[in-house]
Structure 1
Amino acid sequence: MNRPDIFRLNIGISKQTFQSLFGKDKINVRDYNFTTLDMIMPHPEYAQYHFICVLSPSEKTFEKICSLLAEAYNIAVRRYASQNKGSEINTE
């Protein structure tokens, strides 16, 4: 990842969505080449928490992950709300 103009997008998604992408079996991160660009993969450190990653996603790949970003946002909003009961939050 230590290459010019390369970035990693990390996204925390639901267990159900994670399993729909990678199956229900335990993920062996050694099966993935984490230097590959533009490929949706389980996160090398946080796959067990249902995180995925993509190195420098292309426009086409980004279109695929927009729904995953929306899901991650909704998960974050729900977690924040449950941790801050009684606080008003704006989700728009």
Structure 2
Amino acid sequence: MTMDEIHGFVDGLGGVLTLRPGPGDGSPQISRGDTFFYYAPDGVVPKAAQPFATIVTKDYPDDEESRLDRPDVFRVNIAAGKEAFTDRTGHAPRGPAVDVDPSATDTVIAHPVYGSLGWLAVVSPGSRTGAAVRELLRGARHLARSRHERRAGATPRRRGRAAE
């Protein structure tokens, strides 16, 4: 899968806001070239939400194990949730990690930094992981939509009294 194929797939899921930081938009320089996917049907970045998936094209400080400094290598990161994470890795997000090379390409792995939060990652997805990446992205978008709808439907609680 190419980054363009991932962009097209995620954009086709509906209700997705895709951010691609660039010069002059106020984003940190290090984020340029990367992509951030939010569930935002109104087209506005949610204030209390993280992206449900990202594509990173370079190593970040304290996140260098995937060796994204290699030519034509990128990593798709997906907020898979506990169930999908466990299904794919064989252990719970906070459970003992299985020894997997975080720089291996076309392999679904626990995210090297955010795996304990239920994030999965694939370095340069290809023929072995393309279907899994699409399934995981669809699921992550569904989870993000569910969170968005819960927040939108939540009624504020009054101090000292439960909401009626």
TM range (shorter): 0.7 to 0.9
What residue is the counterpart of 2:114 in the other structure? 46
Q: 1:2-41, aligned counterparts within 5 Å?
A: 2-24=69-91, 26-28=95-97, 31-41=99-109
Q: Scaled by the length of structure 1, what TM-score is found?
A: 0.79
Please identify, of 41-50 and 20-29, the stretch whose mean Cα deviation from structure 2 is larger: 20-29
**Share of identical aligned residues, percent?**
29
One of 49, 64, 73 as aligned partner of 2:132: 64
Contact 1:41 1:53 in 2 (8 A): yes
Aligned length: 85
Where 2:140 maps in the other structure, the secondary structure is: helix
TM-score by length of 2: 0.47
CA distance in structure 2 between the aligned counterparts of 1:27 and 1:55, rounded to whole angstroms: 21
Unmatched segments (≥5 aa) in structure 1: 87-92
Decide which of 123, 141, 161 is 1:73's aligned counterpart.
141
Native 8 Å contact 2:77 2:121 kept in 1: yes
Moved more, 60-69 or 4-13: 60-69
Tell me by how many angstroms 1:60 deviates. 4.0
Does the CA contact (< 8 Å) of 1:13 and 1:52 recur in 2? Answer: yes
Q: Which has the higher helix share?
A: 1
- Larger relative CO (CA 8 A, sep 6+): 1 or 2? 1
Could you list the per-position Cα deviations for residues 33-84 of structure 1 after superposition, in whole angstroms to 9, with x for gaps in the alignment? 1111111100001111110000010144112221111100001111122223
Moved over 3 A (4+): none
Question: Over residues 16-43 of structure 1, what are the superposed CA-to-partner deviations in whole Å (9 max), with x where a residue is unaligned?
Answer: 12111222351337x2211111111000
What is the Cα-based RMSD across aligned positions, in Å? 1.9
* In 2, Cα distance between equivalents of 1:17 and 1:3: 29
CA distance in 1, matches of 2:147, 2:81: 12
Structure with greater Cα Rg: 2
Q: Which runs of 5+ in 2 are unaligned?
A: 1-67, 155-164
The CA distance in 2 between the partners of 1:55 and 1:27, in whole Å, is 21
